[in-house]
Amino acid sequence: MNETGQDYRLTAQPVGPLGALDARPAIIEPGRGRISYTDLDRLADRVAGRWRQLGVAPGARIGIYARRSSDAIAAMLGTLRAGCVYVPVDPRAPVERNAQIHIECGAHATLIEDRFEAGYREAVRRLGGTIDTQAIGPVGLGRAVHEWAAITVGFGPERHEDDSTSRSRLACILYTSGSTGRPKGWMMSRRAIEAHVRWCRTLLQPTPSDVFANHAQFNFGMSLFDIYSSLASGASLVLIPDEIRHDARRVVDLLAQERVTIWFSGPAILSLIAQLDRLESDCLAPLRVIAFAGEVFPVPQLTTLRTRLPHPRYFNFYGSTETNVAAYHELPDGIELDGPPPIGRPCEHYEARVVGPDGEVVSAGRAGELQLRGEGLTTGYWNQPTLTAEKMMEASDGGPPWYRTGDLVVELSTGELRYSGRIGRMVKLRGYRVEPGEIEARLYEHPQISEVGVVPAEGPGGPALVAHLSVASGARLSIIELKEFCAVKLPPYMIPERFVFHAGLPRTSTGKIDLQSLRASQANSTNE
């Protein structure tokens, strides 16, 4: 229940705790202004009415092809209210890939900024698809969506559905890269998002006085935390403009200006923020929660950030696109890290087990694959039954299926879980099974290493490991120093054969280190 006693649902209910709080800003677009809960609620209603007027049936997939904005959020909420499923894409991605995604999921229509429409329509035609496009003007503060939805004459007949049925409906399909080259769309139900929101509100206790920051694109799972946890709490949501997302100084200026209290992102931007020279000031005093996920946070940068910004609560969140946040660890105050923090314990709406190669649950202290089940889990991959069957294991106890994360973890004596790497990245070296993620974790303990990506390569004597590194500004490490450091952290067969230095490692669109690019670049790399 929210502060007004109103039960929060991703159906036709208001988007947040309306009433005394209706004039509060729901969404803040820096440089443009802010939109209130009342106005966002009305916009969502208008979007739902427009879809109904256009004859879009409940369950239909609706593409959202627009920059992060109040318009895009209103479009997603209105699509949900119409009983439909939204499929957002990253407008910065190649138009053909975005068209392919919407064709693949059988989108009935796409709400698209007019600046992208011509290229999108041509890509859809070239790929042999047929999708109705509903063009809107430049986005900002909901004006474009308002003008599009204003064509509605009335809202059409209201549709009422059983609550249990509506909650089991899909909310969205979010696409990520697939190992076969075909994007995979994971299906997230409304029930799963609500479970995630309940967990967030229990853990962080957000209130209407909080200000969330949105750093992730709307096609990325992290954005579900930002959007729905803030709206369910009557808080405000600041959309970090794309043009400054990777500029640490400008991000900090914006956090100070908008008095942001809750931040969630990948470690990359936080590592950059840690290096700024003005964090000791009171400019970020309102910030009370810093959460990170997606990849290992380098220990030196994390330690620096906690030293210079000691007042927020720090959380390491663990999860994949398919699970959203599935486990969490709060870093205790005043305790120095001797390595990357554990991923912690499962969220309350998840059950976890650690399974060995033989399919049996392993004892504490032994590595195994993390498997999860619970309310927050995806219902599977859109139109990919083979992949769904491979990743979702039938449970022998007759309960819900177990999701195979592909992540290796070890259960610690405290009952918490520590991440050890990816099963898919396992390589065989001179008869030994080696997990590159473990090597990366040890290298991240070096005080001068900022980024690490360890990938296999073919050497003169067979398979070898190459460590790609970037180091702190002004630092210079020799190969001998690195090998000596590894020698006290790793067995000899796990020490990388080569070390390649970069000004900065390549990143994927979601901010993770792009290991595929590193492998492709290795032919031209040399030791320094």
Average pLDDT over every residue of 168-186: 80
Summarised one tens digit per residue, pLDDT across range 203-212 is 999 999 999 9
For position 298, what pLDDT does the model report? Answer: 86
Fold of 342-422: Luciferase; domain 3 (2.30.38)
Token pair belonging to 183 = 């994007």
Separation CA 49–CA 37 (nearest Å): 18
Domain range annotation of the chain: 25-191, 342-422, 426-524
pLDDT above 70 as % of the chain: 89
Q: In this predicted model, which residue has the larger pLDDT, 303 or 3? A: 303
Does the structure show a pLDDT above 90 at 429?
no
CA dihedral over 62, 67, 73, 78, signed as positive or negative: negative
Separation CA 341–CA 473 (nearest Å): 24
Name the band, by pLDDT with cuts 50, 70 and 90, for residue 512.
confident
Token pair belonging to 416 = 């918490």
CA dihedral over 261, 263, 269, 275, signed as positive or negative: positive
In this structure, of 101-110, 122-131, 175-184, 214-223, the range with the lowest mean pLDDT score is 175-184
Fold of 25-191: Rossmann fold (3.40.50)
Fold of 426-524: GMP Synthetase; Chain A, domain 3 (3.30.300)
CB-based contact 58:159 (threshold 8 Å)? yes
Separation CA 519–CA 506 (nearest Å): 11
CA distances, 384 to each of 53, 104, 105, 435 (Å): 32, 10, 11, 28
Amino acid identity at 390: E
Summarised one tens digit per residue, pLDDT across range 3-57 is 433 333 454 455 555 554 588 999 999 999 999 999 999 999 999 999 999 999 9
**pTM strictly above 0.95:** no
CA distances, 401 to each of 185, 382, 404 (Å): 19, 17, 10
Q: In this predicted model, which residue has the larger pLDDT, 86 or 276? A: 86
- Ramachandran quadrant class, 59 (left: phi over 0; alpha: psi -120 to 50; beta: rest): left
Longest dimension (CA), the chain: 74
Q: Which one of 419-428, 478-487, 507-516 scores highest in mean pLDDT?
A: 478-487
Average pLDDT over every residue of 305-331: 95
Strand partners, 374: 350
Summarised one tens digit per residue, pLDDT across range 322-359 is 999 999 999 999 888 888 899 999 999 999 999 998 88
For position 259, what pLDDT does the model report? Answer: 97
Summarised one tens digit per residue, pLDDT across range 280-292 is 777 899 999 999 9
3-state secondary structure 220-286: CCHHHHHHHHHHHHCCEEEECCHHHCCCHHHHHHHHHHHCCCEEEECHHHHHHHHCCCCCCCHHHCC
- What are the phi and psi torsion angles at 12 (to 5°)? -90, 15
For position 335, what pLDDT does the model report? Answer: 84
